[in-house]
Amino acid sequence: MADANTTRAKLQIGEPGPGVKKVDPILVAHGVRRSFGGVSAVDVEHVEIPRNAITALIGPNGAGKTTFFNLLTGFDKPDTGTWELNGKSLANVPAFKVARRGMVRTFQLTKALSLLSVMENMRLGAGDQSGERILTALFSGFWRKREKEITDQALDLLTRFKLDTKKDDYAASLSGGQRKLLEMARALMSKPELVMLDEPMAGVNPALTQSLLSHILDLKKEGMTVLFVEHDMHMVQTIADWVIVMAEGKIVAEGYPDVVMRDPAVIDAYLGAHHDTDLGSLTGQLEVAKELGDSFLVNEISEEISDEASSKETTDGQ
């Protein structure tokens, strides 16, 4: 069987592992640390995000994934650390300026502004509204042209995300999945190079799952880079080119999806997060297998559970 590593473009220089250098990194972070009281939430020694690839950031609950996203995008400040987008430092750059530099994010819980219409939400994503730049506002001719450009761009994106018929509806009236699509569409208004998605699949019903996945794949086709946090391992295996695993604030593994999910350090990280789970019990083992997205193991354990249940029924019935 051909080694999967040899049939795809190489993203890293050297053996995959925590902190490995990338052939063409778009984002490089070094020594980024953040603690809350005594808890070390993020302690990333070194990480590089490969350009024009889809990278998944995974790890058990409380691993520090969202905090790391918040730090990189200027929504929180680290205790120490440096990070650069396209070689330019982003440390101490506030969130709204980070977006202008080409890096945008979405949130685990969508931040679509409920009392604004879908179109108004999109216009906010453009980031350079008239009130923001007094000088340009003085040149009203220029501004009218820009307004039209923003509206046209928003309509294009809404059509692509199948939200154009809802453009005048309040964002509050959208379903959870449609709000996720709106958030992604809005993020694209600033024409980013790097799109960071925090749990894009959470709360999305199965009918919209496929369309969300293909929108993410389209971003890569258009030359963008995607970094996403996700618990849904099926999604990770389906669309990620590269996987970074965090546990207890640190990066514990990095590599190609099919390889990294079998890395003992990854299995340990997930098992370690289950110290309260009875791993001697089948239900405890099932929980961990599901979290690791190991469908073979999930099937095996589920079969064992149902075998046990039916043999118990037979015994009870005697």
Ligand X SMILES: Nc1ncnc2c1ncn2[C@@H]1O[C@H](COP(=O)(O)OP(=O)(O)OP(=O)(O)O)[C@@H](O)[C@H]1O
Binding site for ligand X (CB under 6 A): 36, 39, 41, 59, 61-67
CB of 198 to ligand X, least distance (A): 8
- Is residue 192 within 8 A of residue 104, CB to CB? The reply is yes
Cα angle: 295, vertex 301, 303; to 5 degrees: 100
C-alpha separations of 271 from 56, 279, 288, 292 in Å: 20, 8, 7, 10
Q: Which helix or strand (DSSP H or E) is residue 117 part of?
A: none
> Of 160 and 250, which CB lies nearer to ligand X in the complex structure?
250
CB of 57 to ligand X, least distance (A): 9
Q: Tokens 């501004």 appear where? A: 143
> Of 57 and 126, which CB lies nearer to ligand X in the complex structure?
57
CB of 199 to ligand X, least distance (A): 7
CB of 281 to ligand X, least distance (A): 23
C-alpha separations of 304 from 18, 167, 277, 318 in Å: 36, 50, 18, 21
Q: Tokens 């073979």 appear where? A: 296
Q: Which helix or strand (DSSP H or E) is residue 261 part of?
A: none
> Of 11 and 273, which CB lies nearer to ligand X in the complex structure?
273
Q: Tokens 């046209």 appear where? A: 152
Q: Which helix or strand (DSSP H or E) is residue 252 part of?
A: strand 250-255
Dihedral angle at the C-alpha atoms of 69, 71, 75, 77, nearest 10 degrees? 160
Residue 13's identity, in one-letter code, is I
CB of 231 to ligand X, least distance (A): 6
Pairing, β 25-36 against β 39-50: antiparallel
Pairing, β 194-198 against β 103-105: parallel
CB of 195 to ligand X, least distance (A): 18
- Classify burial at 305, counting beta carbons within 10 Å of its beta carbon; exposed 0-12, middle 13-18, buried 19 or more: middle
> Of 44 and 188, which CB lies nearer to ligand X in the complex structure?
44
Residue 228's identity, in one-letter code, is F
> Of 12 and 66, which CB lies nearer to ligand X in the complex structure?
66
CB of 234 to ligand X, least distance (A): 17
CB of 150 to ligand X, least distance (A): 33
